Structure 1
Amino acid sequence: METTGYRSKEYGQPTKRFVQTMELKDDCELIKEYRKAHDKEHFWKEIEEGIKKVGILEMEIYVLGNRLVMIVDAPLDFDWDTAMERLATLPRQEEWERHVAMFQDCSADATSDQKWQMMERMFYLY
């Protein structure tokens, strides 16, 4: 496990951050397969392209047991709701959501925006 931290990209512009959470089914084999679906070799190129196309600059997913936390960085003028509506219409997005739903503790027909729950920042230190 990484304990030295993860470097963030610099974009030469102010950005804002969104943090979401979701739970996977509590099954070691399913979690292993979910991790595999997100590795560089198996992650669907169309999904990566769609994420960037809607304006997301950086996306990270962290896992602890069956709990996921996703961090999304975007430009200040990024509108989450508009971007998620657009993302849902892009090539293979619906297929991807059905594929990963088998690992996630959610409805099989849920969209990405329905699965991931936005977290509230309760503390920050600059």
Structure 2
Amino acid sequence: MKTTRHYYACDLKDDADLIAEYEKYHTEVWPEVLKSIKDAGICVMEIYRCGNRLFMIMETTADYDAERKKQMDLNNPKVQEWEDLMWKYQQALPFAKPREKWIVLERIFSL
């Protein structure tokens, strides 16, 4: 199966207790959220942290469509509850649009 990789960045609030809580939530992600990720055609999702900066790597199947995923999430009350909760820990990058969390990373080098 051919997959496509996507890379994103987001910041956490720079507070050790909040970061620890955020990480705890990500050891026990709600099943409805996991289902929504898989149903959208995301087959691999990893999040890495450096200080309060997060980096997400996603691998998607050919049927993945970011706009469709966005609409699916907007129509899923449990996903919306999760996203609202995550705003307690996350903060937008300085150049993000209102309510925009994860920003697509622009590749500047590849070997």
Is this a same-fold pair by TM over 0.5? yes
Paired residues, number: 106
Report the secondary structure of 2:42's partner residue: coil
Q: Report the CA distance between 1:118 and its aligned residue.
A: 0.6
Unaligned runs of 5+ in 1: 1-12
1:34 corresponds to which of 19, 22, 34: 22
Report the secondary structure of 1:73's partner residue: strand
Cα distance change, pair 83–89 in 1 and its aligned pair in 2 (3 A): same
> Which structure 1 residue ranges, 4+ long, deviate > 3 Å from structure 2?
none
Are the aligned partners of 1:51 and 1:87 in contact in 2 as well (CA < 8 Å)?
no
1:85 corresponds to which of 71, 77, 86: 71
2:42 corresponds to 1:71: no
2:44 corresponds to which of 38, 55, 58: 58
Report the secondary structure of 1:72's partner residue: strand
The higher-RCO structure (CA 8 Å, 6+ apart) is 2
**CA shift digits 1:15-65 (9 cap, x unpaired):** 1111000000000110000000100xx211110011101111110000011
Among the aligned pairs, what percent are the same residue?
39
Normalising by structure 1, we get a TM-score of: 0.78
Q: Report the CA distance between 1:78 and its aligned residue.
A: 2.2
2:90 corresponds to which of 93, 96, 104: 104
Alignment root-mean-square deviation, CA: 1.5
Report the secondary structure of 1:122's partner residue: coil
Counterpart of 1:118 in structure 2 is 104
**CA shift digits 1:84-117 (9 cap, x unpaired):** 22223224011001111100114xx93xxx2100
Q: Which has the larger radius of gyration?
A: 1
Distance in 2 (CA, whole Å) between partners of 1:67 and 1:120 is 16
Unaligned runs of 5+ in 2: 93-97
Normalising by structure 2, we get a TM-score of: 0.88
Cα distance change, pair 100–121 in 1 and its aligned pair in 2 (3 A): same
